[in-house]
Amino acid sequence: MRCYLQGMARMITQAELRNGSAGIMDALEAGEEFIITRNGRPVGELRPIAPRRDVPISEIKALMAPFRSIRSEQVRAEIDAVFREERLDD
């Protein structure tokens, strides 16, 4: 069960959500979070969605460039040398 700490999310009733949806949407866009209650009991959460960031392919290629020189066979050989797989049939 989740613990709702005061100050982290504003608790609002189902009626407040229904009657004040425009203001709540504005508050969501501003970063505010809400806990929705029904009959005094928390039943749901509303929180803003983090903005999506499109990353250009050129930036991804630049970030991955240092890994081009890695040879998977060499890495596997090094891992095997360190961990020396013990076989049950030996």
Q: What is the CATH number of the domain that holds 42?
A: 3.40.1620
51 lies in a domain?
Answer: no
Question: What confidence score (pLDDT) does residue 86 get?
Answer: 60
- Which residues on adjacent β-strands are paired with residue 42? 37
Whether 1 shows a pLDDT value over 70: the answer reads no
80 lies in a domain?
Answer: no
34 lies in a domain?
Answer: yes
* Number of domains observed in the structure of the chain: 1
For residue 41, the enclosing domain spans: 10-46
CA torsion angle 41 44 46 52 (round to 10): 160
Which residue reads 């392919």 in tokens? 57
29: which residues sit within 8 A by CB, 6+ positions away?
A: 48
Per-residue pLDDT of 31-71, as tens digits, reads 999 999 999 999 999 999 988 889 899 998 898 888 887 78
Q: What is the mean pLDDT of the chain?
A: 84
CA torsion angle 56 57 58 60 (round to 10): 100
